[in-house]
Structure 1
């Protein structure tokens, strides 16, 4: 995925109202930009960090600029636009960059499924294989040298694990795909210290047959590519 037009840098002043941030450009102009990430963004939004933002050509957007990447003062690059995780996975699936999920000619997105009325991020289909249900989560929390998910209690994430477990129990493939969007993260662990219930349900889901994959993206202001499998540390 290439960023076109090219991203522009600015210095972060502050993030507020969950979906807005004020930045100052190298020319000294203060801009209010949109933040698609409504989560905690722990370690991803420190005042003084470099923000890389995109600009929409739409004339109807109130805030035409969107926060895409954070370059921290320690040199790490983080993708904070939560919409990009699914875009990266779709691209990687289409080009068969994820070996464990290759060999499926049909791909559908946002398919309704499950007893709890969920939508699966991706459904892969092939004539000679069980259907493959993929739930995508982005990992950006780095603490003590390790990546963690989630960065806040996630009731919705717990529901997704229950739904995936049900899929696996009926004989279909169910995959939890953690997309690592932080250059400093080398392995991923469930954030038991943040959401104990999620960590417990992840272990239960694996016991039910849910596959857990962790793939890391190469990140730069020029573009992003999901291309490196890393370990899940339990």
Structure 2
């Protein structure tokens, strides 16, 4: 089956990252021949901490915004990992878009026998990224989390304390215990240079503990990585997610 991918559709503009002025704005110096040296502001679609990636002087790639009502003319798309070999996507909307395409096409063997029903499905106290259903009419809630942080070849989530993430995992655990629906949590690494995904215990120990409880309760804990290039992003191979047992 052909790969599931999203193409950027236009050449990206290379620049040098200078600083992050707030959660959603970065300042960069363009490197293009026609505009080299121009300093611009760009929208950052990933509100995460990203301090291991957004290092002053690193290479970053931007896409021009055609919306005249935008405050910024540019959006940040990719950043080069400090190793100088790999790209990391900075758009947290891409994993959900990729997974939706994969679910609709039946691309993912993890969900063999499950059919895509809808997005943004409300159950309990949350809206869930996807609702799936099998031939027997049983439902599955699927929540997707974007992973960008890496250490020693391991993808880590989260990169900052996440009360929302803890809430989601606790609710999925409750659904799994009650047994009325299946519950699944899928971590999507927006990079290719990882072999495993773990909870970032030193950043959010509560999330790590809840992830372990969810795994023990029957929540399906899954992972995928992505291939990222200057042309687009495609869904890569499955990766194992390890949930470490911690003291309550």
Common topology (TM > 0.5): yes
1:81 aligns with 2:86: no
What's the C-alpha RMSD, in Å, of the aligned pairs?
1.5
Tell me what 1:12 maps to. 17
1:93-104 equivalences in 2 (<5 Å): 93-104=103-114
Q: CA deviation at 1:129?
A: 4.2
Q: CA deviation at 1:144?
A: 3.0
- Which shifted more, 68-77 or 196-205? 68-77
2:26 to 21, 30, 43: 21
CA contact (8 A) 2:53 2:82 kept: no
1:134 to 118, 137, 142: 142
Q: CA deviation at 1:184?
A: 2.4
CA distance in structure 1 between the partners assigned to 2:178 and 2:97 by the alignment: 28
Tell me what 1:42 maps to. 51
Tell me what 1:123 maps to. 131
> What stretches of structure 1 move > 4 A for 4+ residues in a row?
none
Per-residue Cα deviation, 1:36-79 (whole angstroms, up to 9, x for no partner): 11111131211111111122222211113111110134222111
Q: CA deviation at 1:127?
A: 4.2
Q: CA deviation at 1:92?
A: 1.8
1:176-215 equivalences in 2 (<5 Å): 176-215=185-224
Query: What is the DSSP-based 3-state SS (H/G/I as helix, E as strand, rest coil) of the residue aligned with 2:239?
Result: strand
TM-score w.r.t. the length of structure 2 is: 0.88
- Which shifted more, 66-75 or 203-212? 66-75
CA distance in structure 2 between the partners assigned to 1:50 and 1:183 by the alignment: 18
Query: What is the DSSP-based 3-state SS (H/G/I as helix, E as strand, rest coil) of the residue aligned with 1:28?
Result: coil
Report the CA distance shift for 1:106/1:189 in structure 2 as closer, same or farther (over 3 A). closer
CA distance in structure 2 between the partners assigned to 1:53 and 1:102 by the alignment: 37
CA contact (8 A) 2:116 2:130 kept: no
CA distance in structure 2 between the partners assigned to 1:192 and 1:140 by the alignment: 15
- Which shifted more, 90-99 or 37-46? 90-99
TM-score w.r.t. the length of structure 1 is: 0.93
Give unmatched runs, 5+ long, in structure 2: 1-5, 244-248
